[in-house]
Amino acid sequence: MASGQLIQQTRKFEHWYLIDAEAAATNNGVWIDSGAFDTGSIDVVISNTATVQIRGSDAPTRPADTAHGNQIGTDITASSIYSIQQPPRWLKARVSAYTNGQVDVWALLRFAHGIGS
């Protein structure tokens, strides 16, 4: 699968690849539309040495992937799962520094009031 690709969608949630096995360099990430969600979690897996940032934007239209919006939380340098409440309209993960290993980032976003398709 590719970064920014939808993995699964149900009436209650969407599961996204934010970064898919980035194993060679930094990565700007790909914006996804997270405006219909009210909660979620971000699962970051770093197999060796890299820095990941979760970025958000409330821009009226989808930002360019080279634009980074605002950082949500702090730099992530170890594998973990992070909760996100009231995500911004646009969401992405960015590999801002890379030394070696593999980076995967998934988002599981829950629809506000079960309005998904």
Domain count, the chain: 1
Neighbours of 83 (CB within 10 A): 8
Mean of the per-residue pLDDT values for the chain?
91
Contact 104/21 with Cβ under 8 angstroms? yes
Residue 22 has pLDDT above 70, yes or no: no
Distances in Å between the Cα of 98 and the Cα atoms of 24, 26, 32, 56, 109 are: 8, 6, 23, 21, 26
Q: For 60-81, write each residue's pLDDT tens digit.
A: 999 999 999 999 999 999 999 9
Domain that holds residue 102: 5-114
pLDDT of residue 25: 76
Q: CATH number of the domain that 25 lies in?
A: 2.60.120
pLDDT of residue 20: 85
- Which residue would you say has higher pLDDT here, 115 or 41? 41
Specify the 3-state DSSP secondary structure of 113.
helix
